[in-house]
Amino acid sequence: MGDIVSIAILDQSASEAHVYFEILVPALEPMLEELRQLDIVLNVEIVKSFDRIYGKRIIIMGGGAQVGQVAIGAISEADRHNIRGEHISVDTIPLVGEQALADATRAVARLPRAKALVLAGSLMGGDIEKAVLEVRAKGLLVISLNMAGSVPDVADLVVSDPVQAGVMAVMAVADTAKFTVERLKRRIF
């Protein structure tokens, strides 16, 4: 039938559930007809995918004030690219504590459409470093603010200015930008 890209249970009660699927199919109508034939299916509706509406996701996490400053840069830059037809969204989560940040870093690799993670704080290392290595191995771009600890040593980019870190995160994932991390001659800014 097709390749399932994403599944989400949007609403659920004891008698029914609203389930969202993103499926890549060579022929849509035959699959829709088969779904409508199932007794368990009450309704089938075609909607635009989250990828098409919200696009790529930049995730910013760490200390609250620094997360806010990174978000200023990321949102401003995303706006410039979105006006040109790109779809980039920015999510933030202020977190503190090694285990909370390590767990959240690992979870970003499982988030739909997440393309880059910016770690904003003043001290990160230990299990967060291990988590960064794990998500980078899965293809996630990781940008770290210049901070104490071992995370800057393992991030793709290290940026001193939080606003610039947000801008660079968006530029790195935008199709409408000419900036690429691979072309950089250094990784610390």
Q: What is the mean pLDDT of the chain?
A: 91
- Chain-centroid distance, C-alpha 121: 19
Quick count: other Cβ atoms within 10 Å of Cβ 171?
Answer: 20
Q: What mean pLDDT do residues 91-114 have? A: 94
Question: pLDDT band at residue 104, thresholds of 50, 70 and 90?
Answer: very high
pLDDT range class, residue 109, cuts 50, 70, 90 = very high
Max CA separation in the chain (angstroms): 59
**Residues 170, 180 contacting (CB under 8 angstroms):** no
CA distance 106 to 128: 9
State residue 61's pLDDT score: 97
Residue 147 has a pLDDT of: 95
- Please tell me whether the overall predicted TM-score, pTM, comes out greater than 0.95 for this model: no
Question: What pLDDT does 165 receive?
Answer: 97
160-186: pLDDT as tens digits: 999 999 999 999 999 988 877 777 777
Q: Among all chains, which residue has been given the structure tokens 């969202």?
A: 20
Q: What is the pLDDT confidence band of residue 50, given thresholds at 50, 70 and 90?
A: confident
Say whether pLDDT at 23 is over 90.
no
pLDDT band at 52 (very low <50, low <70, confident <90, very high): confident
How high is the pLDDT of residue 58?
97
- Proportion of the chain in helix, strand, coil states, percent, rounded to 5: 40, 25, 35
First to last CA, the chain: 48
Burial label for 56, CB within 10 Å (0-12, 13-18, 19+), is buried
Read off the pLDDT of each residue in 79-88 and give the average, rounded to a whole number.
94
pLDDT on residue 118: 98
- Given a cut of 80, whether residue 88 has pLDDT beyond it is yes
